[in-house]
Amino acid sequence: MITAGGGGIGAAMARRFSEAGARIALCDIDAAAAEAVAVDLPGAIGLGADVTDETAMDAFFNAAGAHLGGVDVLCANAGTGGPVAPLAEIDLADWRACLSVNLDGAFLACRWAARRMGPQGSGAMILTSSTSGLYGVPTRSPYVTAKWGVIGLMKTLAMELGPKGVRVNALCPGAVEGPRMDRVVAAEALARQMTEAEVRALYAEGTSMRSWVTADEIADMALFLASPAGRHVSGQAIAIDGHTERMT
């Protein structure tokens, strides 16, 4: 089960897991995008759902559970970049909207899965955090706060569910090529009075490998964590980022 599976990292996860033989249920706030990803994957379903809406999330997961016959793997992937500005300039509504998608969305997904994986004595949860959940980032306080929170949620769940045979980890992507980061770069360039090319270069220069990463690379790590090869990996925040040395 994958939230925010209509594009980017979520869609890459859906494809990778499907290639490995898994049956997929995914949701996205853009129902058409979810359906477009699912239609190319054997036995998959894609539904519209807002991850901040408790009723909508329960409806999606209940439909997904019925379609799949249970739940073995959850990818709680939904996120939003939030406002880009110094903290003193951020509105409370924008702050709350960012935390709701990133943190409430993870909570609702994990709560549903925990109620099923715990009793069945198996399962893997993979939460999407960020390298911003490992550092402070000027002008990105709502996003940073939310992604640190995702890691705290993951570590607590790993402790609660480990004795029941359930493992829980978080992915911490760096700068991922794609439309979402294009929007983040544009907002940062405006806020910092830089060109978009300069902001993109800063992201790359902040890593040892001087590079961005791809959604497929994030999906590869998710597949590893869900596979038997990752059976004793739990409670970990794993960076896929080219080794971040400093945040921009």
- What DSSP string describes 26-79? EEESSHHHHHHHHTTSTT-EEEE--TT-HHHHHHHHHHHHHHHTS-SEEEE---
Question: Is 143 a known active-site residue?
Answer: yes
Active-site residue identified among 112, 143, 148, 203: 143
R_g over Cα of the chain: 17
Distance CA 248, CA 246 (A): 6
Quick one: angle between helices 8-19 and 31-38, nearest 10? Answer: 20
Q: Which pairs with CB-CB distance under 8 Å and at least 24 residues apart come from 20-23?
A: 20/223, 20/227, 22/72, 22/73, 23/67, 23/68
Q: What are phi and psi of 233, to 5 degrees?
A: -105, 115
- Residue partners of 42: CB distance under 8 A and separation at least 6: 18, 23
Amino acid identity at 158: A
What's the Cα-to-Cα distance from 58 to each of 42, 121, 150, 239, rounded to whole Å? 24, 21, 20, 30
- What is the DSSP secondary-structure string of 134-171? TS--TT-HHHHHHHHHHHHHHHHHHHHHGGGTEEEEEE
Residues involved in catalysis: 143
